[in-house]
Amino acid sequence: MLQVQNLAAARGGRVLFSGLSFTLLAGQCLHVQGANGVGKTSLLKMLAGLSPSPVGRVSWQDKSYAEWGDDLGAQLHYLGHRDALKDTLSPLENLLIGARLHGVRLTEHTALQVLQRVGLACHADLPVRQLSQGQKRRATLARCLALPRPIWIMDEPWVGLDLAGQAELGAWIAAHLNSGGIAILTSHQLLPEQIPSVSILALHAPNAATAVPEAAWAC
Amino acid sequence: MGVLSFFASVLERDVLLAWRQRGDVLLGLMFFMLVATLFPLAVGPEPNGLLRIGPGVLWVAALLANLLALPRLFHGDWIDGSLEQLLLAPYPPSMMVAAKFAAHWLVTSLPLALAAPLLAIQYGLPLAQCLMLVASLLVGTPIITALGGIGAALTLGLRQGEVLLALLVLPLLAPVLIFGSGAVGAVAAGQSGMAELSLLAAMACTSVFFAPWLAAKALRLAIE
């Protein structure tokens, strides 16, 4: 259970949102919506533990993020705007090294299977700089599929993917939710229909953040 | 997997990345060689003069070559988003930074220190001074990496960050230069030079111990 209480963010002295509270249970997905610059990415970075929140409290499994400390990284996947791939390494090397840095030693066989799932089996040995934007995104998503983590935080994950890729990503997120994970996504599109129990959080500029509750979570 | 294993993973990763872009590493080395070669051309081939300025010039050239490479320490990982992933790894961020420092030192400073005796020949430095030059570079350059690393983390993402980094770090590195070239000068004066080297080693221990922690704090600010 991810609990967010009274969260606020500011940038350059301007309040982006404040008083944000919600609870996400296992299997639930939160779709963060809002215009450009209302603080979607700031919120996601806070939820990923990358930037501290000046006020409020975020807790996962009844332990606050501060209590989790460095171990929080083993609980979540954060997918930012940038792909976090090294240009000179192949998708396979990126995946193996990325997993090792998270304390997981993948065998090459497992890694290749994951790359096959994301449709990069034929490109596993090419340097990433030779891949297209969508293929890079797939290589990044391979990390999410290879390392099981209960929280998926994804900033515009559909950007750059082709239609088939968008559908596949929808299916992967749905499978993640069905296995008891939670997902927090931003997207300017509607989420694919196969994703179950989506709640929508609409951020508004400049000071009010309103949530439209759909399931069993309240403001 | 323990913290040490994480350290080794980051170190291995950075060395592999440097190997894939070995041109960058060579650039620093070539810069060092070029600067060190320009001085005898400008000052003239008078042996006593060259012998006197040799240690200082080589140390300044090594310092500048190291400084030139510092922005590379975090910039690549910051620009492609890998830095966020590195900070999200379930281990202390200071350990990640320490490993990056170690890798940076291995691929940047170590080659410079090993190339220094070749350049010392141009200045006619005797063997004892050459050896002290290498020793002082080996002990002194970790300080450049450590203090410079804090600067690199602080200036990450700033406009004109590289220039700011140099202005920020160079004054702090003055003692390194003084004791580094001083150690070689002491050998030239017939002393052992161990006093300067010991001071350099003490500075290296302190900076290597504290810098990763400070740089990790600065990196957290940079990615917010």
> Which 85-104 residues of chain B touch chain A by CB within 8 A?
85-93
> So what's the pLDDT on residue A217?
44
A-B Cβ pairs (cutoff 8 Å, strict) = 83
Measure in Å the smallest separation between the Cα of A214 and chain B Cα atoms.
Answer: 31
pLDDT at A36 over 90: no
Chain B contact present for A66, CB below 8 A: no
> Which 14-33 residues of chain B touch chain A by CB within 8 A?
16-17, 20-21
pLDDT tens sequence across A109-166? 999 999 999 999 888 899 999 999 999 999 999 999 999 999 999 999 998 889 999 9
Decide: A24 and A187 in contact? Cβ < 8 Å.
no
Q: Check B85 against A78: CB less than 8 A apart.
A: yes
> So what's the pLDDT on residue A206?
63
- Tens-level pLDDT at each residue, chain B (224 residues): 689 999 999 999 999 999 999 888 899 999 999 999 898 888 887 888 888 888 999 999 999 999 999 999 999 999 999 999 999 999 999 999 999 999 999 999 999 999 999 999 888 889 999 999 999 999 999 999 999 999 999 999 888 888 999 999 999 999 999 999 999 999 988 888 899 999 999 999 999 999 999 999 999 988 88
Task: Give the separation between CA B42 and CA A178, rounded to whole angstroms.
Answer: 73
List chain B residues with CB under 8 Å of A76.
88
- Tell me which H or E stretch contains A212: strand A209-212
Task: Give the separation between CA A18 and CA A9, rounded to whole angstroms.
Answer: 6
Q: Which of B9, B82, B223 lies nearest to residue A86, judging by beta carbons? A: B82
Phi, psi of B186 (to 5 degrees): -65, -40
Task: Give the separation between CA A189 and CA A121, rounded to whole angstroms.
Answer: 29
> So what's the pLDDT on residue B176?
94
pLDDT at A200 over 90: no
> So what's the pLDDT on residue A175?
93
Give the sign of the dihedral formed by CA B160, CA B165, CA B168, CA B174: negative
Q: What percent of chain A has pLDDT over 90?
A: 48
Decide: A25 and A179 in contact? Cβ < 8 Å.
no
Task: Give the separation between CA A33 and CA A44, rounded to whole angstroms.
Answer: 12
> So what's the pLDDT on residue A216?
40
Domain ranges for chain B, please list them.
3-223
> So what's the pLDDT on residue A192?
83
Taking CA–CA distances from A45, the nearest residue in chain B reads B224
Decide: B90 and A71 in contact? Cβ < 8 Å.
yes
Taking phi first (over 0 means left), then psi (-120 to 50 degrees means alpha), and beta for anything else, what does residue A36 get?
beta
Cβ neighbours around A29 below 10 Å, total: 23
**B81-101 core/surface letters (b: 16 or more CB in 10 A; e: else):** bbbbbbbbbbbbbbbbbbbbb
> So what's the pLDDT on residue B150?
95
Q: Identify the three-state secondary structure at position B211.
A: helix
Task: Give the separation between CA A59 and CA A57, rounded to whole angstroms.
Answer: 6
Tell me the average pLDDT of chain A.
Answer: 87
Q: Check A74 against B6: CB less than 8 A apart.
A: no
List chain A residues with CB under 8 Å of B100.
none
What is the DSSP-derived secondary structure letter of residue A208?
-
Chain A contact present for B216, CB below 8 A: no
Decide: B219 and B93 in contact? Cβ < 8 Å.
yes
Optimal mutation site among B82, B94, B219, B221, interface A, most CBs of chain A within 10 A: B82
Q: Which residues lie closer than 8 Å to A183 by C-beta, 6 or more apart?
A: A29, A30, A151, A152, A153, A154, A173, A176, A177, A195
How much is the ipTM here? 0.87
Optimal mutation site among A78, A102, A151, A155, interface B, most CBs of chain B within 10 A: A102
What is the DSSP-derived secondary structure letter of residue A162?
-
> So what's the pLDDT on residue A218?
40
pLDDT at A39 over 60: yes
List chain B residues with CB under 8 Å of A71.
90
Task: Give the separation between CA B118 and CA B130, rounded to whole angstroms.
Answer: 9
In this structure, chain B runs to a length of 224
Q: Which of B17, B91, B224 lies nearest to residue A86, judging by beta carbons? A: B17
B43 vs A90, residue with greater confidence: A90
- Tell me which H or E stretch contains A203: strand A198-203
**What mean pLDDT comes out for the span A81-97?**
93
Chain B contact present for A156, CB below 8 A: no
